[in-house]
Amino acid sequence: MSALLSSLRGPQLVAHFQRRCGLRPLSAADPAERRCPEADGRAPVSTAGSPRERGKSESNGALNGAAVVMYIGQTSKDVLRWPRPPSPPVIKLEVRVDAEYGMPSTHAMAATAIPFTFLLATMNRYKYPFELGLLFALTICVLVSLSRIYTGMHTVLDVLCGIAITALLVTVSYPFWDAIETFQMKNCFAPVLALTLSFLLSINYPELDHWSTARGDTTNIVSAGGGAAVATWINYQWGLILEPLSAPPYEMPLVTPELLGRMVARFTIGIVIVFFARQAIKSVALAFVCKLAGVSPGDQEARKLLWVEVPYKYITYSCLGVVGLALCPAVHRYLSL
């Protein structure tokens, strides 16, 4: 068993999978060789067969359904402090998050949590083939998980543990989903609890032995989840969540040109609102927090401090959670979309 775990944790499986996918390190004599200053000490990478260019940032994303899963995953990284696969022999296709630790893969966790919670939440509510939904969820989980090995950011063990942890969390929490949803919508203390808990989780993130994007990204996700919980409460209290007229399961709506047009319009308007809201809220929050901390908003090193980074990101993304799930739908309703 120890030999198997050692193999799964080692870089050789990752490197072998990359070679099977067509990734090859460039030789020193190759005139097409490219070296990135920020990737000093790592093997140069050929762009042949690679869907990404080095240095392209990744996004953890901030979906409410994955907020708890992502927090557990990110904090586990900074508690366990297992390094990412070394290069060489692994080829690194991303550099932004290379300073973070690797165990478990939060991408694999999110790719398990989001599609499978969506499947569990809709399988008894809408009429569609369960097998098709399961295939869709499995496909997303497998493709995203393999992509983390392909990009050289995780070992096989990182990915498998991420999937296993999420499967356990979803299984344990599933019986309580309805009770949690009812509490979020109807309890008068729900907004205060959501905002307080998300802030406490963010500010008490495990102490970093070196700065990385982990704490800030985790704050973004958790605070957006708190804001989404507040938006859920607002929508219900203001009568914006309509009770169904009949019992489920419901027929899936037909995909018509009119429906597609409305979807595109809603998406475009929502993106524009969230984009400008983020710019405005972030500027105000950063200036306010930096003034309280006695530092300059333009000081990039000061923005990495705990009591600057966490509060300004918390304010920004908790507000965006409300904007995205309360303000945007209100605008859509006003425009009859």
Catalytic annotation, residues? 107, 154
Q: Are 296 and 242 in contact (CB under 8 A)?
A: no
For residue 59, the 8-state DSSP code is: -
Q: Are 145 and 107 in contact (CB under 8 A)?
A: yes
Q: Are 24 and 48 in contact (CB under 8 A)?
A: yes
Question: Cα–Cα distance between 254 and 160 in angstroms, integer?
Answer: 38
The phi, psi pair for 25, rounded to 5°, reads -70, 140
Q: Are 248 and 124 in contact (CB under 8 A)?
A: yes
Please, which residues have CB within 8 angstroms of residue 38's CB and are 6 or more apart in sequence?
Answer: 55, 95
Paired tokens of 331:
């605008």
